[in-house]
A and B are shown apart, each in its own frame.
Chain A
Amino acid sequence: MIVRILGEGQLDIADEHLDELNALDAGLAEAVTAGDEPRFQHVLITLLDRVRAVGTPVAEDSLSASDVILPAQESSLAEVRALLGEEGLIPG
């Protein structure tokens, strides 16, 4: 599965890690829904660290779209909400 960390590029993740990462991802979604900024920051950093640890960088000239896109490490909860809320907020 291909995962993109915004601002960092794409990583290929082997199937065996998906359960662990999906659980973290679900936790992140919950924190966003609950508006819990400290928890959001904590889960995001944990999730990104795990993705970086188990992922293999995708070749730079690959044109594959990602299955999962994760916010940049320094994102605030408000920024992520803006990304989710309105497509128009994604420039380019």
Chain B
Amino acid sequence: MSLGRRLALIFKAKASKALDRAEDPRETLDYSYQKQLEMLQQVRRGLADVATSRKRLDLQAQQLETRVGTLAQQATAAVAAGRDDLAREALTRRSAAQQQLAELAPQQAALQAEQDKLTGASQRLQAKVEAFRTRKETIKASYTAAEAETKIGEAVSGISEEMSDVGLAMQRAEDKTAELQARAGAIDELLASGALEDATGTTKDDIAAELEKMTSRSDVEEELAHLKRALPPAARTALPGSGADTSSPTPPGAGPGTPKEDRS
């Protein structure tokens, strides 16, 4: 037997189980309608979950993009400062962030596809539930045991199949969402550990701190040089460590704080 017909039979078997549950077929109508309303609510909740996950991923992608830009700037700044080691570290981290971004992209697309499908499914189910409600009242009004049973069977089978389909779509969306939430959690951890900078810029990573230290150090040096140039030549020779007087008894870098010098 063909695959399509086998699947159709399996879905039908599920529907007839629902029909067998009640002694009075009319009870089946109400029971089924109750289930349909519950299902609609579940689908709406499922849709909200998918949307939330997708937004979180979008936000993380933005953060990663910012991070890639920052690291590129840091690498340039480090090279300019003659710190190849820092530049290398920044480039390594940038490549890691870029890889995360590349892996995120297809998952973002997949989640968007799930969201679209689930939206379509929920609209179809909504339309069918509405149709079922009308049909249910009609069947109940004209109820005679013999004629109603077939009509009830038809209506319940139709809607039951839709519900199974929507149920499968929801399961797929939930699986995808769970998968992505695990990844999102991992990225959050990376961001929090300082390996990846927070997009708010409040956390300073070690590369930024090192570069900043270097900048402030070179600012101090520049200021010092400026002060020295501003002094008259006579005063300059009297300054220890100025570099102008090489015969100075105190070599540059060996201040009074060096214990060895004090003892000898």
Contact = CB atoms under 8 A, between A and B. Distances in A.
A26 interface: yes
Nearest to B8: A69
A91 B167 contact: yes
Give the interface size class of chain A: 20 to 34
Contacts of A90: 10-11, 14, 164, 167-168
Nearest to B39: A92
Given A61-B131, A62-B158, A69 B4 contact: yes
A90 B12 CA distance: 12
B182 interface: no
B159 interface: yes
Contacts of B170: 91
B10 A67 contact: no
A54 interface: no
A28 B12 CA distance: 21
Given A4-B165, A7-B169, A84-B6, A63 B131 contact: yes
A61 B128 contact: yes
A64 B164 CA distance: 14
Nearest to A51: B4
Given A69-B7, A71-B7, A60 B2 contact: no
A3 B4 contact: yes
A65 B15 contact: yes
A9 B2 contact: no
Interface in A24-73: 25-26, 28-29, 32, 60-72
B3 A22 contact: no
Contacts of B161: 4, 65-66, 69
A16 interface: no
Contacts of B5: 25, 67-68
A92 to B, nearest CB: 3
B38 to A, nearest CB: 10
A61 B154 CA distance: 14
B132 to A, nearest CB: 6
Contact of A7 (B14, B39, B121, B132): B121
B124 A60 contact: yes
B1 to A, nearest CB: 8
B13 to A, nearest CB: 6
A81 B58 CA distance: 34
B111 interface: no
Interface of A: 3-4, 6-9, 22, 25-26, 28-29, 32, 60-72, 80, 83-84, 87, 90-92
26 contacts: A6-B169, A7-B168, A28-B3, A28-B4, A60-B123, A60-B127, A61-B130, A61-B131, A62-B128, A62-B158, A63-B154, A63-B158, A64-B154, A65-B11, A65-B161, A67-B8, A68-B5, A69-B4, A70-B3, A70-B4, A70-B7, A72-B172, A83-B10, A91-B164, A91-B167, A92-B167
Among all A-B residue pairs, the 8 with the closest Cβ atoms:
A92-B167, A63-B158, A68-B4, A60-B127, A61-B131, A91-B167, A69-B7, A65-B157
Interface of B: 1-8, 10-15, 39, 117, 120-121, 123-124, 127-128, 130-132, 135, 154-155, 157-159, 161, 163-172
